[in-house]
Amino acid sequence: MAVNEYQQQVKVLSDQLLELQRPIRILDAIKWPSEVEKTFFKDKGRELPRLPENHYQNQELGFDPVQQRDRFLHLRRETRRKLGRSDGLGGILCRTIDQYLLVIDMLANRGSPEFGRYSRALYGSARDHLRGDRKTLRQLGEKLGEIFSMPGAAHLVRPYEKNISATDAVDILQDRLGNYFDPGDIRVILSDGIVSDAAAGGDYIKINQDASFTEFDLQVLEVHEGWVHVGTTLNGRQQPWATWLSVGSPRVTACQEGLAVLMETLTFSSYPGRALKVSDRVVAVDMAEQGADFLDVYHFFTNRGLPPADSYKITQRVFRGGTLSGGSVFSKDLSYLRGFVENVNFIRSAIQSGVPEILPMLFVGKITLDDIPILYQHYLEGTITGPHYIPEMFRDLNGLYVWFGFASGMSVINMGRVQRHFQTLFAKMPKVAPLYEKVIDSAVD
């Protein structure tokens, strides 16, 4: 098949996939009414949340599951027939189609034990082992939870209050993101229809009009929602043939969310409380998977000192779509920690393998790490367009190479012995206020 003919075939099949996935909105299909939270706190958190009777059955999907399944199956057959079973891009398309088939089954089973089974097939389980390691996600989540809950983390909490209104946040973010994106490519807008404080769309970021923010919050939103989620969408939209790279099935969630969390750390935008939230989500998923009900998970976090509103939010994220009695849960929140670890290991491996030039492909669109070698080959051949929006440290890879090169080299050091050496010094230190408070006081004077 000639190159031009092949590219046209890829585009036709890719556009068909875009059209089929358009009505599928996972989070909209499993969201809870805001009244549920109000009633829960009115009952002082002593009773399970009260979802409306037949809530999921009465919540329209926006598509017919049987018809949509048949259409995806037809597209999979057409992809294999036209591109061949061994074609790289065709394989990515077929694996994406398989994901949407699972999504249809998951959403058709909302509120039932089967929902959790399909969710695990899509997003994994907290008891899954990390790729190439014996540790489970739950074990890593617990270890990170210990680190980010240490007294030293509390010492670093800056005196930032949530004193930035939603309206001001819109203006600030629009100005900052205007320095990263081309004029008119991104909008930051107020919204009264989202549960979270902020959410990214194709070329916009919605800000909850009832939320307020700290400076830290805005730093995170800028790189997490803006640079990564919107940036990869816009890069995918610029693809002339592989147009499906502008949308994400669950198979790309870990790479996307992990890359977003990684960018928070590389730009020093994150903070211990934010990192703790990522590890807490793994613990919440595991507890619910093992049979803890909504109240068990909610009170686990309140008893640990998390504010009631935050404890409700992290618990609600896990139980939406599943059963309040536990066992059947929405495990998407594992993606943040799993994806972070996998992205870090991918970057380190690319550097040690002598192929750092593939790293900008992390931003080419909505992808998995396993897709990158295939996409890079087709980039060299002209079917895939390189990413337009790339954070500076991925555009000039020198600093990134050195950073991860040192990190890889230091991994051979016995950190237990190192820590025991320095602990003898730390034990003699007086317990004082954080250094930054003195710096701030001096600046004020």
The residue extents of the domains of the chain are: 128-414, 415-444
- Which residue positions in the chain have pLDDT lower than 70? 1-3, 157-160, 193, 195, 431-445
Residue 194: per-residue pLDDT: 74
Residue 2: per-residue pLDDT: 66
What is the rounded distance in angstroms from the CA atom of residue 332 to the CA atom of residue 28?
14
The string of DSSP letters for 44-57 reads TT-S---PPTTHHH
Residue 438: per-residue pLDDT: 45
Exposure string (b/e) for 99-134, b if CB count within 10 Å is 16 or more? bbebbbbbbbbbbeeebbebbbbbbbbbeeebeeee
Residue 159: per-residue pLDDT: 59
Give the global pTM: 0.91
Is the distance from CB of 162 to CB of 217 less than 8 angstroms? yes
Residue 152: per-residue pLDDT: 74
Residue 342: per-residue pLDDT: 94
Q: With helix as H, strand as E and coil as C, how does the chain read?
A: CCHHHHHHHHHHHHHHHHHHHCCCCHHHHHCCCHHHHHHHHHCCCCCCCCCCCCHHHHCCCCCCHHHHHHHHHHHHHHHHHHHCCCCHHHHHHHHHHHHHHHHHHHHHCCCCHHHHHHHHHHHCCCCCECCCCCCEHHHHHHHHHHHCCCHHHHHCCCCCCCCEEHHHHHHHHHHHHCCCCCCCCCEEEEECCCCCCEEECCCEEEEECCCEECHHHHHHHHHHHHHHHHHHHHHHHCCCCCHHHHCCCHHHHHHHHHHHHHHHHHCCCCCHHHHHHHHHHHHHHHHHHCCCCHHHHHHHHHHCCCCHHHHHHHHHHHHCCCCCCCCCCCCHHHHHHHHHHHHHHHHHHHHHCCCHHHHHHHHCCCCCHHHHHHHHHHHHHCCCCCCCCCCHHHHCCHHHHHHHHHHHHHCCCCHHHHHHHHHHHHCCCCCCCCHHHHHHHHHHC
Residue 424: per-residue pLDDT: 81
Residue 441: per-residue pLDDT: 41
Dihedrals φ, ψ of 179, to 5°?
-85, -15
Residue 435: per-residue pLDDT: 54
- What is the share, in percent, of the chain residues with pLDDT greater than 90? 73
Q: How many CB atoms lie within 10 A of CB 258?
A: 25
Helix or strand run (H / E) with residue 93: helix 88-108
Number of H helices, E strands in the chain: 22, 5
What is the rounded distance in angstroms from the CA atom of residue 367 to the CA atom of residue 300?
35
Residue 150: per-residue pLDDT: 79
